[in-house]
Structure 1
Amino acid sequence: MAKKQSRPGKGAPRRAGQDWDFPADGDGAPALHGYLALPASGHGRGVLVLQEWWGLVDHIRDVCDRLAREGFVALAPDLYHGERARDPDAAGRLMMDLEIPRAERDLAAAAQALLGHQSVTGPRLGAIGFCMGGQLALFAATRNPRIGAVVDFYGIHPRVTLDFSQLEAAVLGLFGERDSSVPPEAARKLESDLQSAGKRVRIRIFSGVGHAFFNDTRPDVYDATAATSAWADTLAFLRQELG
């Protein structure tokens, strides 16, 4: 069972990004909130970063910062609108209470805002998601042809339905051999479904690791070797697909 989220220590690196409000998708809707990280160069390809079931927590901000240090402009929209979970029961409730039509609108607004940001270059975005966010990254790409690359870290959400006939993005899937939430057979089925739909996909199943192996704020599940390899794959994939 997942344990509580830990907080970064005093030695955590300074944030590269900042909180950012952007227009909602719809007239009169309140502004949406997210975390935006810019590269030192001031410009780069845009990447959406989609949260785990915990919410927009420090781990997700850190992923944005890491992408910025690699030359990308990274935006993590707050899909829970300010709510955070500190324990698995609360996280599960937030995930299941997520209104998918509202999340779809929020994802569309985030993509539009990121594409319109003065620092973003190129016509297409990448999308990276973790756990719940992995499934939502795929979902967003089936709704938005301007998402050209999806990195799905052990994605799962029982109420998200995917129509791969509408997908134009290439997909990189990163899963753990010992993941009881998204077991290897689920990862292989995803690969088979994408291939049957004629989509470009690469799935990696990392030996000996479980769900959330990339989350370094959770020492009970984090695996440094798998995470380092998965990150290298992620960067290479985004650079190849986004240019």
Structure 2
Amino acid sequence: MTDISVETPAGPIDAVLELPDAPGPGVVIVHDAFGLTADTRNISRRFADKGYVALAPDLYTRGGIRKCVTGVFRALLGQGGVAVDDLLAARDFLAEHPDVTGKVGIVGFCMGGGFALLLSPKGFGASAPFYGITPRHVEEALEGACPIVASYGKNDPSLIGAGKKIEKVLSAKGIAHDVKTYPGASHSFANALPSGPAGAFARITGMGWRGEQAEDAFGRVFEFFGEHLRH
């Protein structure tokens, strides 16, 4: 694991870079609302172990979670802004990296999943949103999207019916996709929530890691990415 700096239009941001044993496709890992936590770092390593050059940018570099979270969500909901530019810069960093062969994908969780959906038409080879917020005007937002493998929890009160909606749009547009909604899973089912009051509250409400569903979802992502990023 290497902590690096990535140049963006608004100045450098911090990031974690994980390299595989041999050159391979690139993947931008977009963290959830909790930020660049140990969980995001572990997910980055997981992708590197599968042969991907994994880059996880810290979208809260310019002031930490308290100062930056509102602005990052504003960029997500407004479909443009500094956070979007940061992620596109991360894409370009990987595209130019000497160890990256083939295409660059994007995977995100919660807030990051929303960005993975939103940016799917923006020069990525495949996108994997985990319980991502559905973009406004979704039919327009996903025009020209890359192949998408999406995962949702059926017990997620914040995204009721989101999987069916996304699948309907992707099918209508003829975009290659694999969308699955998991019974028994809620929001953040593929994330290890951080310690502290925020993480504790999330767990009380039923959020957090669900091993069987999470492992199935990651398996689908690796199979889908293998098809669309390596070949």
TM-score tier by shorter-chain length is 0.7 to 0.9
Which residue matches 2:144? 166
Unaligned runs of 5+ in 1: 1-16
Which residue matches 1:194? 170
Q: Of the candidates 127, 133, 143, which is equivalent to residue 150 of structure 1?
A: 127
Matched residue of 1:141: which SS? coil
- 1:124-177 superposed Cα distances (whole Å, 9 cap, x missing partner): 211101011111012222222xx111111000167796622232x111110101
Which residue matches 1:128? 107
Which residue matches 1:38? 19
| TM-score when normalising by structure 2 | 0.84
| Larger helix percent | 2
Which residue matches 1:237? 224
Matched residue of 2:34: which SS? coil
Cα contact 2:127–2:147 (8 A) shared by 1: yes
Matched residue of 2:171: which SS? helix
Identity of aligned residues (%): 31
- 1:89-126 superposed Cα distances (whole Å, 9 cap, x missing partner): x997465354732122112111111111111111x211
Summarize the alignment of residues 87-98 of structure 1 with structure 2, pairs less than 5 Å apart. Answer: 93=70, 95-98=72-75
Aligned amino acid, residue 137 of structure 1: A
Count the aligned residue pairs. 215
| TM-score when normalising by structure 1 | 0.80
Which residue matches 1:78? 58
Which residue matches 2:34? 54
- Residues 91, 83 of structure 1: alpha-carbon distance in 2 compared, 3 angstrom cutoff: closer
- Residues 196, 157 of structure 1: alpha-carbon distance in 2 compared, 3 angstrom cutoff: closer
CA shift, 1:71, in A, is 1.1
- Residues 197, 179 of structure 1: alpha-carbon distance in 2 compared, 3 angstrom cutoff: same
Identify which range, 132-141 or 94-103, moves more after superposition: 94-103
Which residue matches 1:137? 116
The separation in 1 between residues aligned to 2:34 and 2:135, in whole angstroms, is 16
The separation in 1 between residues aligned to 2:64 and 2:3, in whole angstroms, is 15
The separation in 1 between residues aligned to 2:177 and 2:8, in whole angstroms, is 31
Matched residue of 1:110: which SS? helix
CA RMSD of aligned residues (A): 2.3
Cα contact 1:54–1:91 (8 A) shared by 2: no
Matched residue of 1:134: which SS? helix
Cα contact 1:132–1:157 (8 A) shared by 2: no
Which residue matches 2:197? none
The separation in 2 between residues aligned to 1:160 and 1:34, in whole angstroms, is 31
CA shift, 1:80, in A, is 2.0
- Residues 79, 46 of structure 1: alpha-carbon distance in 2 compared, 3 angstrom cutoff: same
